[in-house]
A and B are shown apart, each in its own frame.
Chain A
C-alpha cells in the first residue's frame, strides 16, 4: 500500500521526477537547435575539444548525444533553474550525471525536456550508460556548476557571457 502511494506523492512533494516534457524531433532539426544554442551562449572556449556554453538562468539547454561525445560542455549556476533537453543524433544513449547517479534514457527522434536545478556547485561528468557502439566507454561530457554569485556578471548580458572560471 505504501508502494502505491509513494509515486504520486513524490510527484507532488519530491524534487526528483522523470516526467519532463516530451516531444518528437528529427535528429537533424535537433542538431541544428544545438548549434543555435552554442552560437547563442557559447563562450568561444573549448574544453577537451568540445565547445563550452554558459547559458543564463532560466534558459533552455540543448545537449546532444552522438557516437561518442556529449556536446556541448555546460557552465551552469548553482540554484538556478534550467530546462535540460536531451536527444540523440544516431542511436540510444544513456545520460548519467556523475557523481550524483542521475540517469535518463536518450532516444533518437525524441526530445526529453527536464527542469533542472543544480543544487551544489562543482565539476560534474556526464557518462554514457547505454551501449552505443564500440567507443561507448569513451563518451564522457562535462558540466561545471559555479557557486552562487561568481557568474552573476555574465548573467546580465548572456550573449556575451565569458564564463565564470
Chain B
C-alpha cells in the first residue's frame, strides 16, 4: 500500500478500509445537498400553495421566482451534490483506495459551492426570474450564468478525480477481478455527466457572453443544446439511482445480480443513446423535421428505455432470487411478503422502483412519442412525469441509501429510527398522489409553470373543467404529504449527523437493533450460498416467477395508457 495507513480507518461493520479524505468529502457534499434540499423544499411548499387556486399564496413575481429557486435547488444542487458523494463512495470506499488529488477534490467542492452561491444570490434578489430552463432570449444577470458555469466546472473536476481514483485502485491492486456492478453504474453516471457537462459548457458559456452583450445565441439552438444538458443530466440521476438500487438490494435483502453482463450492457445503453433522447423535448418545435424527430429522439430513446426496463426487471428479480436463496421460497409472492418492509432502505428501494417504473416510465415513454407530445408538451403532465422519476425515483433511492450512509460513513445511529421506518411510505404516497393528479390535470390542458389558471385580468376568460379544481386540490394535498415526508428526512439526517449518538465499537445485533436499519447488522448478503457452483445451480433454476407477474402487470398498464393517449389525440382538430 502506497498511502500511509494513518490516512485510512477500517470500517468495523463491513471491514472496508475508508480513506479519511473520501470520508470527509462524502460528508461535506452530503451536508450541502441536504441544505439545498431544505431550500428547494421550502420553495416547493410555497409554489404548491400558490398553484392550489383556493390558497393562491404568492404574488405572480414571487411565484416565478420561487419556482426558479425550487428547480435549481432540487434538480441541480441537491441531486448533483449528492451524486458527487456517490462518486466518492463508489470509487474510494467500495474499491478500498485513496482519493486521487484530494486538494483538487476540495477545490472542486469550493467551486461548486461558489457557483451555487452565485445562482442563489441572483435568483433570490430577483436578478434571474428565468425559471430553471432560462430559455434565451429571456435574460438573467450574467452572474447567474457564471454561477452555473463554475458549478459545472467543479462537477467536471470531480468526475475527473473519480476516474483517476479508479486508475489508482487498479494500479495499487486494491480490488480483484472487474469493478463491482455498483461502481460500474457510477462509471456510467460519471461518463454521462462528462457528456452532459460539456453540453452545459457549450451552451452556458455562449449564453454568458450573450448576457454581457458580446455575442448572439439562436433560441432554437439554445433549446437543442440546453436539452443536451437538461435531459442527459437526468440520465446521470437514473444511472446513480439504479446503482443505488443494486446496492440497497444487496444490503437490505441480500439481492443477487442475476446476470452481470445484462446489467452492465444496460448501463452501456444509457451512455450510447441518452443524448439523442434529449431531443424529445423538441418534438413540437419548429426547428426540426419529422424524420429527425422520430429517429433521433424516440427510436434512440427506446434503447435507453429498454435499458431501464432491463434494470427494472433485474433489480426486483435479483431481490426475489436473493430471498429465495436465503430460504423464503413459499408460493409466488412469499419472498415479497417476508421481505424487510420495516427497513427504510428496503421500502425506499421498492417504492422507488415501482413509482419510477409505473408512473414515471409509462408517462415518459408515452409523452416521448412524436404525435402524443402534441397533447402533453408543457402541460402539467410533464412535471407529473418528472416528479415521479426524479423525486419518487431518484430522490427516494437517495433517501433510502442515506439510512445506510449514516451508520456506515458517519458512524452515527439513525435518530428517530421509528420515524425513519415510516418516512419512505409517507414521502412516496404523497408523491404518488401528487404526480398522478398532476398528470391527470395536465390531460385537460392545464399549463405547467403558470401562476393563475383562473386567468383573472386576462383579455379572455378561460374556464377549465371543474374536475381540474378537484385534481389541483388533490395535487396540493399529495404535495404537502410529500413535503412532510421530506421534512422528516431532513430532520432525521440532520439530527443524526450533528446530534446523533455515535455507533460504539459493539456491532452486534443487540447493540444496534432499533437504532439502525437491520441490513447494517444482519448483513443478509453474507447468508447467501458462497460457492460459484451453488450460485450457478440456483441461477439456472433461476426463474423469478413473482417478478414475472409484476412485469406482466406493468406491461398491461403501459399498453392501456399508451393507446388511451392515441385515442385522446385523435379527438382533437386535424393538424400538421
Contacts and interface: CB of A to CB of B under 8 A. Distances in A.
A17 B373 CA distance: 10
A127 B462 contact: yes
A22 B288 contact: yes
Interface in A103-142: 103-112, 114-120, 125, 127-142
B378 A103 contact: yes
Quick one: which of B138, B294, B559, B562 has the most chain A CB within 10 A?
B138
A131 B131 contact: yes
Nearest to B465: A99
B572 A141 contact: no
A90 to B, nearest CB: 7
Interface of B is mostly: loop
Quick one: which of B218, B569, B576 has the most chain A CB within 10 A?
B576
B394 interface: no
A32 interface: no
A119 B574 contact: yes
A7 B238 CA distance: 26
Contacts of A165: none
A44 interface: no
Interface string A137-149: 1111110000000
Name the interface size band of chain B.
35 or more
B376 interface: yes
Contact of B451 (A15, A120, A137, A140): A137
Interface stretch (B111-119, B277-285, B329-337, B339-347): B277-285
B575 interface: yes
A94 B447 contact: yes
Quick one: which of B223, B444, B462, B574 has the most chain A CB within 10 A?
B574
B284 A18 contact: yes
B448 A17 contact: no
Interface of A is mostly: mixed
Interface string B440-461: 0001110111111101011110
B293 to A, nearest CB: 7
Given A91-B137, A127-B447, A130-B135, A96 B573 contact: no
B402 interface: no
Nearest to A88: B219
A101 B439 CA distance: 13
Contacts of B458: 137-140
A137 B133 CA distance: 18
Interface stretch (B28-36, B363-371, B414-422, B501-509): B363-371
B302 A4 contact: yes
Quick one: which of B447, B452, B464, B570 has the most chain A CB within 10 A?
B447
Contact of B284 (A15, A69, A103): A103
Interface residues of A, number: 69
A127 B162 CA distance: 47
B12 interface: no
B371 to A, nearest CB: 5
A156 interface: no
Contacts of B218: 109
A101 B443 contact: yes
Given A2-B562, A127-B447, 11 more contacts: A3-B365, A3-B369, A15-B575, A100-B571, A104-B377, A112-B286, A116-B573, A125-B462, A130-B378, A136-B64, A138-B458
Interface of A: 2-4, 6-8, 10-11, 14-20, 22, 47-50, 69, 84, 86-87, 90-92, 94, 96-112, 114-120, 125, 127-142
22 contacts: A3-B365, A14-B569, A18-B576, A22-B287, A91-B135, A94-B377, A98-B445, A99-B444, A99-B465, A100-B445, A102-B573, A105-B284, A114-B576, A116-B574, A119-B574, A129-B378, A129-B448, A138-B457, A138-B459, A140-B458, A140-B459, A140-B462
Interface of B: 60-61, 64, 129, 131, 133, 135, 137-138, 218-220, 223, 282-290, 293-294, 298-299, 302, 365, 369-371, 373-379, 443-445, 447-453, 455, 457-460, 462, 464-465, 559, 562, 566, 569-576
Top 4 A-B pairs, shortest CB-CB distance: A48-B459, A101-B445, A17-B576, A112-B286
